[in-house]
Amino acid sequence: MSQHNTHALPSYLDPGHLGPWGIYLEQVDRVTPYLGRQAKWVETLKRPKRVLIVDIPVELDDGTIAHFEGYRVQHNVSRGPGKGGVRYHQDVTLSEVMALAAWMSVKAAAVNLPFGGAKGGIRIDPRNYSRAELERITRRYTSEIGSIIGPHKDIPAPDVNTNAQTMAWMMDTYSMNQGATTTGVVTGKPIALGGSLGRVEATGRGVFVVGTAAAEQNGIPVEGARICVQGFGNVGGTAARLFYEAGAKIVAVQDHTGTVHNASGLDVLRLLKHVEETGGVAGAPDSEPLNADEFWGLDTDILIPAALEGQIHEGNADRIRARIIVEGANGPTTPEADDILNDKGIFIVPDVLANAGGVTVSYFEWVQDFSSFFWTEDEINARLERMMHTAYSSVAGVAAQHKVSLRTAAFIAACSRILEAREVRGLYP
């Protein structure tokens, strides 16, 4: 059992709290005064365009029948087709998927990609199911949402507990139902199926690029910087490795199995191997265990939350001693915590900017699939870096102009773009 089950729930999971969708709505309310005449259209952002809840009946390996609840939400498609990952997690809710879809709309617009926002999920703990069962569940889910996805409508990708194999099954199922191989229906596919080089690492690489820019802006040399990372999967593991290779010291890592600490710096390559072999960071060599709560009070230069939403809340924000927070996860900081951290002068690179590297390389993959012409990994990484730098500078410019946080600035830039598209498209059929 995870040590986290023994701790109080984060405040956003308390009954009566706003929940992820409520948090998103509050973020939109906070930015509305900066939208000028576009504010007239702001209601567009406060309701999803389309919500689909599906029942997924599947025969398990032992012959019994199980039913899972799945979702696909398209929040906004004013600027292009919906885009966003698919999450398999036991705590997935409609409110969460709605918020994740909305953050995708904001993210795509903040980085100026020609996409709207969407997200999907299945309420399931995938660790309890065999590979064959997961394949059947994924295929049935894909068929159930098949009428609303498509390369020009809504393009899924990996998120928590899904990966390139999941995308291969989705692409194959969609193609079988269409009667034609349709590689552009999902991104994050295996390279053999039209996937893009660099996509697996892209989100962590983007975190590294903007994290480095933020460190420079705050006079923190990356070489020797102390870094704590929560979540050591696709995003956290890659970001930790890139910072480690740049000379930073990864002093603590937390995942669902535990928290490991080494004040002189963990050997990240060994830690990655340990996680591959054992499924989590607990018991990693050359580390001491910490309890989950101690992690948040560690004296550090950069904190990278790269696990789930609501991890930084009013119950722990006050104890955080990082100089910079780079949000690898979606929605890791509640609005209450955001206020506390801003008052403490902690510099936050918000999720919609910091973790946009993944969807950026997904965009490259989608473009490559259409042209059937594939780029080298160096080309992809160079383009990714350029786009992340451009987005960071333009959001930092908006922040300076309005004297607001990078989060508010990213929302101002993104919401303005979405609402401008809404306005010029017009309303009538």
Ligand X SMILES: NC(=O)C1=CN([C@@H]2O[C@H](COP(=O)(O)OP(=O)(O)OC[C@H]3O[C@@H](n4cnc5c(N)ncnc54)[C@H](O)[C@@H]3O)[C@@H](O)[C@H]2O)C=CC1
The window from 12-20, 230-238, 339-347, 413-421 that contacts ligand X (CB under 6 A) reads 230-238
Query: Of the candidates 103, 107, 87, which has an alpha carbon nearest to the alpha carbon of residue 26?
Result: 103
Cα separation, 365 vs 50, in Å, equals 25
Contact characters 259-298, ligand X, x per CB under 6 A? ----------------------------------------
CB 235 within 8 A of CB 329: yes
Q: Per rule CB under 6 A, is residue 159 in the interface with ligand X?
A: yes
Q: Per rule CB under 6 A, is residue 133 in the interface with ligand X?
A: no
Question: What does DSSP say about strands 65-76 and 50-59: parallel, antiparallel, or unpaired?
Answer: antiparallel
Q: Per rule CB under 6 A, is residue 142 in the interface with ligand X?
A: no
The pair of three-digit structure tokens given for residue 329, joined into one six-digit string: 């996860």
Residue 83 binds which of ligand AKG, ligand X, none (CB < 5-8 A, kind-dependent):
ligand AKG
Nearer to ligand X, 311 or 405 (CB): 311
Nearest distance in Å: CB 334, ligand AKG? 18
Cα separation, 13 vs 95, in Å, equals 11
The pair of three-digit structure tokens given for residue 304, joined into one six-digit string: 């990278």
Compute the chain's Rg from CA coordinates.
Answer: 20
Among 190, 233, 265, 289, which residue sits at the site for ligand X (rule: CB under 6 A)? 233
Nearest distance in Å: CB 69, ligand AKG? 19
Burial of residue 374 (number of CB atoms within 10 Å: 0-12, 13-18, 19+): middle
Nearest distance in Å: CB 12, ligand X? 13
Beta strands in 209-309 (DSSP E): 226-230, 249-255, 258-261, 288-290, 302-305
Q: What angle do CA 150, 156, 159 make, to 5 degrees?
A: 175
Beta strands in 109-183 (DSSP E): 117-123, 154-158
Residue 84 binds which of ligand AKG, ligand X, none (CB < 5-8 A, kind-dependent):
ligand AKG
Contact characters 317-356, ligand X, x per CB under 6 A? -----------xxx------------------------x-
Among 44, 138, 166, 203, which residue sits at the site for ligand X (rule: CB under 6 A)? 203
- If one counts every other C-beta atom within 10 angstroms of the C-beta of residue 18, the result is 18
CB 367 within 8 A of CB 188: no
Q: Identify whether 83 is a catalytic site residue.
A: no
Query: Which residues are at the interface with ligand AKG (CB under 6 A)?
Result: 83-85, 104, 107, 157, 159, 187-188, 330, 355, 358-359, 362
- CA 357 vs CA 194, 204, 210, 244, 384: distances in Å: 19, 7, 10, 19, 7
Q: Per rule CB under 6 A, is residue 160 in the interface with ligand X?
A: yes
Nearer to ligand AKG, 85 or 310 (CB): 85
Residue, CB closest to ligand AKG: 85
- The identity of residue 100, as a single letter, is L
- In this structure, the chain runs to a length of 429
**β-bridge mates for residue 119, sequence order:** 73
Nearest distance in Å: CB 177, ligand X? 25
The window from 131-139, 232-240, 296-304, 388-396 that contacts ligand X (CB under 6 A) reads 232-240
Nearer to ligand AKG, 9 or 374 (CB): 374
Q: Per rule CB under 6 A, is residue 307 in the interface with ligand X?
A: yes
Q: Per rule CB under 6 A, is residue 234 in the interface with ligand X?
A: yes
Torsion of CA 339, 344, 345, 348, to 10 degrees: -50
Q: Per rule CB under 6 A, is residue 74 in the interface with ligand X?
A: no
The pair of three-digit structure tokens given for residue 17, joined into one six-digit string: 């709290």
Query: Of the candidates 189, 251, 235, which has an alpha carbon nearest to the alpha carbon of residue 351?
Result: 235
Residue 306 binds which of ligand AKG, ligand X, none (CB < 5-8 A, kind-dependent):
ligand X
The window from 123-131, 143-151, 189-197, 250-258 that contacts ligand X (CB under 6 A) reads 250-258
Nearest distance in Å: CB 399, ligand AKG? 21
From the list 119, 153, 189, 344, the catalytic residue is: 119
CB 285 within 8 A of CB 269: no
Nearest distance in Å: CB 103, ligand AKG? 7
The set of catalytic residues is 119
**Interacting residues toward ligand X by CB under 6 A:** 4, 158-161, 203, 230-236, 254-256, 306-308, 328-330, 355, 358
